[in-house]
Amino acid sequence: MNMITAADASAAARQRDLLHTLISDHAKALRAYVDKLLNDRHAAEDIVQETLIRAWHHLERLYSNEGSVRGWLLTVARNLVVDRLRSATHRHETVGAEERDMARPDDADAVIVRAEVTALLRQLPYEHREVLLHTYLGDKTVQETARILGIPAGTVKSRQHYALNSLRAKVKTGAGTCAR
């Protein structure tokens, strides 16, 4: 005769709560990430579902560690994407694969790096971030940036210096990374 004890019911409720938290906190970002990798909404939904099932099997361990839950989910999803792309290409099951711009496994790392850089830049004061965007991403000279922003070239150099030092410090300490 199977009897459900109070401890069993409590453990089941805890697992249900953790799963609900996992889905509400991470499913949307996970779906966006996988959709970006595959550029195929239906395949992305399959990958997200499989990732969440794997997370469900490891809920207690996943939430008891100090590592990032989001990082674990993104890693599992990326591995599933790689496996899917390799198996479909190997079996020639992808219709029009030669014509479609399919994601490469290396793109996953680039997406993570972009997200981390964006998170780090958002931590900078607006004035510093603005200078970096013009000089590095806009490929403008110090003089061009000064003219665009209406500030002296020395101020551009100073803001650039402090912004880069701040970013170096954050990278060195690991502060501000979003997916690890």
CATH number, domain with residue 151: 1.10.10.10
Q: Is residue 80 part of a domain?
A: yes
For residues 67 and 119, state if they share a domain: no
* pLDDT score, position 117: 79
In angstroms, the CA 171 to CA 150 distance is 30
Is residue 39 in some structural domain?
yes
The structure tokens 């479609």 sit at 100
Note whether 163 and 55 are within 8 A (CB). Answer: no
Considering the domain architecture, whether residues 43 and 86 belong to the same structural domain is answered as yes
Q: Which two tokens stand for residue 13?
A: 């409720």
pLDDT computed for residue 38 by the predictor:
86
Which residue type occupies 117?
A: V
Q: What per-residue confidence (pLDDT) applies to 94?
A: 53
Contact indicator for 36, 77 with CB cutoff of 8 Å: no
pLDDT, position 179: 43
Classify residue 125: in a domain, yes or no.
yes
| Integer Cα distance of 20 and 27 in angstroms | 10
Q: What CATH number should be reported for the domain holding residue 76?
A: 1.10.1740
Sign of the four-CA dihedral 104, 108, 114, 117: negative
Please, what's the b/e burial string for 145-172 (b: 16 or more CB within 10 A of its CB; e: otherwise)? bbeebebeeeebeebbeebeebbeebee
**Per the confidence metrics, is the pTM higher than 0.75?**
no
Domain end: 60, 93, 126, which one?
93
The reported pLDDT for the residue numbered 72 is 85
If DSSP states are collapsed to H, E and C, what string results for 53-113?
A: HHHHHCHHHHHHCCCCHHHHHHHHHHHHHHHHHHHHHHCCCCCCCCCCCCCCHHHHHHHHH
Show the domain range for 133. 104-180
For residues 77 and 112, membership in a common domain is answered with: no
Pair 82, 40 in one domain: yes
Domain co-membership, 85 together with 42 = yes
> What per-residue confidence (pLDDT) applies to 105?
54
Q: Average pLDDT by consecutive 10-residue portion of the chain (180 residues)? A: 67 76 87 88 90 83 74 88 75 52 60 78 89 85 91 93 89 62
Assess whether 86 and 115 both reside in one domain: no
Number of domains in the chain: 2
Predicted confidence at residue 106, as pLDDT, reads 58
Residues 173, 117 share a domain = yes
Residues 86 and 28 occupy one common structural domain: yes
Residues 23 and 57 in one domain: yes
